[in-house]
């Protein structure tokens, strides 16, 4: 365990934003992670558990408590016939874990290639992309339950996964120690169901490695693969979740859009429960926030309207002002309330 003082959090978030942390503990083992969190809790100090910093907005004033930075490693495969369980430590970079699954012929997470951040964060917001999300493969999450003061296993039901949410999101009760995925032993990805991906592949099945390459290329074109040379990637991916509307609310939105622009319709994706997911990126652009629209040093990505970015000299205050402006504009134009996706520390929209 390493203890650091007065650490710039801007160096540890993909936004490149955030003031200093008074104290930061880097932990390399699950035992040290549990020990560090338990000690901070006992002292009554505020705690921030930091993974890859890829879904995090930290105030310019920083964090006046202890940050525990998860650096635990571990990847173990338990093969059984045509399936394999993989137990992955919370601190493993997610994309390295995906690359390894693809290389070892383990199917189920290949569409989740190119996503930044660490494994431990993936069940929290049920990370998803291109037709897969981790709730389809997570069978168990090992956590430290800070309320009970003990380690527990949460099975899939206890995780209560939903679109970009779970029982672990929005609560500081659980610290993820490791994640167990149940994958299929196959070199082929099948049952692909994301129109953009199928179009790019020209098929609904393909070798895992091909799917991985194509997904990364699609993401890169949207500025969704972290690249220091590309300011559009200085972001937290999607800044807002896509609103999921009741059929009535969706019909009202369509009528409103038709009145504003005859013949137009919001990009919409029906859910299995009758509700309809609408594209927040579409709403943002049509509300008048073009790609590149700026507020101080932050702007809408020039590649994807749903990503807000720090152009280099931005501050968290700029980012929050931009997000508020967009939320208010979408509300005024369409009557739809956008909800932010990243974890906000020391700031509120």
* Residue 81 φ/ψ, nearest 5 degrees: 60, -130
Active site residue 166: no
Q: Return the number of the residue (164 or 180) whose C-beta is nearest ligand EPU.
A: 164
Q: Is 89 exposed, middle or buried (0-12, 13-18, 19+ CB in 10 A)?
A: buried
Q: Return the number of the residue (121 or 208) whose C-beta is nearest ligand EPU.
A: 121
Please, what is the minimum distance in Å from the beta carbon of residue 294 to ligand EPU? 16
Active site residue 164: yes
Distances (CA, A) of 230 to 216, 219, 303, 309: 15, 13, 11, 10
CA nearest 147: which of 179, 175, 119?
175
Please, what is the minimum distance in Å from the beta carbon of residue 273 to ligand EPU? 17
Query: Helix, strand or coil for residue 116?
Result: coil
CA nearest 87: which of 137, 160, 149, 159?
137
Which residue is catalytic, options 92, 110, 285, 341?
Answer: 341
Which residue is catalytic, options 142, 146, 156, 164?
Answer: 164
Active site residue 341: yes
Query: Helix, strand or coil for residue 151?
Result: strand
Please, what is the minimum distance in Å from the beta carbon of residue 34 to ligand EPU? 29
Q: Return the number of the residue (113 or 178) whose C-beta is nearest ligand EPU.
A: 113
Cβ-closest residue to ligand EPU? 237
What are the DSSP calls for 52-107, one per residue? SSTTEEE-TT-EEEEEEEE----EEEEEETTEEEEEEETTSBHHHHHHHHHHTTEE
Which residue is catalytic, options 135, 238, 299, 301?
Answer: 238
Please, what is the minimum distance in Å from the beta carbon of residue 316 to ligand EPU? 18
Contact residues: ligand EPU, CB under 6 A: 129-130, 164, 196, 222, 224, 237-238, 241-242, 267, 279, 281-282, 285, 304-306, 341
- Centroid of chain to Cα 265: 27
Q: Return the number of the residue (180 or 304) whose C-beta is nearest ligand EPU.
A: 304
Task: Decide the pairing of beta strands 106-107 and 174-185.
Answer: antiparallel
Distances (CA, A) of 90 to 70, 72, 87, 251: 7, 6, 10, 42
Question: How far apart, in whole angstroms, are the C-alpha atoms of residue 197 and residue 204?
Answer: 9
Q: Return the number of the residue (94 or 282) whose C-beta is nearest ligand EPU.
A: 282
Please, what is the minimum distance in Å from the beta carbon of residue 149 to ligand EPU? 32
Catalytic residue numbers, as ranges: 164, 238, 341
């Amino acid at each position: 365990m390493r203890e650091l003082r007065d650490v710039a959090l801007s160096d540890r978030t993909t936004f490149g934003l955030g003031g200093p942390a008074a104290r930061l503990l880097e932990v390399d083992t699950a035992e040290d992670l549990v020990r560090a969190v338990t000690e901070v809790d006992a002292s009554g100090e505020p705690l921030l558990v930091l993974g890859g910093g890829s879904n995090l907005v930290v105030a310019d004033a920083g964090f006046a408590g202890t940050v525990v930075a998860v650096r635990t490693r571990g990847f173990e495969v338990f093969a059984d016939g045509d399936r394999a369980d993989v137990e992955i430590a919370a601190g493993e970079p997610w994309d390295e874990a995906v690359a390894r699954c693809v290389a070892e012929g383990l199917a189920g997470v290949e569409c989740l290639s190119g996503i930044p951040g660490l494994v431990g964060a993936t069940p929290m917001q049920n990370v998803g992309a291109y037709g897969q999300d981790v709730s389809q493969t997570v069978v168990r999450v090992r956590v430290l339950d800070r309320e009970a003061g003990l380690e527990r296993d949460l099975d899939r039901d206890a995780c209560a996964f939903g679109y970009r949410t779970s029982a672990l999101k929005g609560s500081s009760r659980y610290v993820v120690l490791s994640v167990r995925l149940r994958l299929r032993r196959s070199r082929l990805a099948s049952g692909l169901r994301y129109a953009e991906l199928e179009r790019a592949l020209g098929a609904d099945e393909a070798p895992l490695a091909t799917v991985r390459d194509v997904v990364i290329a699609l993401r890169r074109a949207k500025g969704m693969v972290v690249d220091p040379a590309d300011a559009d990637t200085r972001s937290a991916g999607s800044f807002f979740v896509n609103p999921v509307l009741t059929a009535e609310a969706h019909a009202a939105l369509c009528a409103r859009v038709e009145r504003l622009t005859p013949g137009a319709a919001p990009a919409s994706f029906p859910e299995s429960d009758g509700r309809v997911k609408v594209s927040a990126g579409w709403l943002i652009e049509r509300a008048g926030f073009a790609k590149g629209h700026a507020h101080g040093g932050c702007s809408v990505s020039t590649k994807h309207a749903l990503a807000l970015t720090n152009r280099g000299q931005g501050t968290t205050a700029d980012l929050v002002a931009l997000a508020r402006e967009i939320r208010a504009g979408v509300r005024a134009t369409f009557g739809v309330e956008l909800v932010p996706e990243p974890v906000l520390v020391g700031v509120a929209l």
